[in-house]
Amino acid sequence: MQVTGKSFEAFAREALFTPLGITHYEWLGNPDSDPPIPSAASGLRLRARDLARFGSVYLHGGRWRGC
């Protein structure tokens, strides 16, 4: 949050999920933190088709649909 001014999840949603068309996800983290912070190392639950989108981006050198 110090660098972007946004929460970790808000930044991920803006920079990753929305551009990739991912709308359904669950991101578990530490429920005792205030506010709750998603775990960057684990806890992200995606549908198989959405996980495949990340694989496609990796396969194509960071590009999604030619961009």
Q: How crowded is the C-beta side of 56, counted as CA atoms within 13 Å?
A: 13
Which pLDDT tens digit goes with each residue over 11-50? 999 999 999 999 999 988 887 887 778 887 888 899 999 9
**Longest Cα separation, the chain:** 41
C-alpha 52: how far from its chain's center?
A: 13
Run of H or E including 25 = strand 25-27
Instruction: State pTM to two decimals.
Output: 0.75
The label of the residue with tokens 């639950």 reads: 45
What is the residue extent of each domain of the chain?
8-59
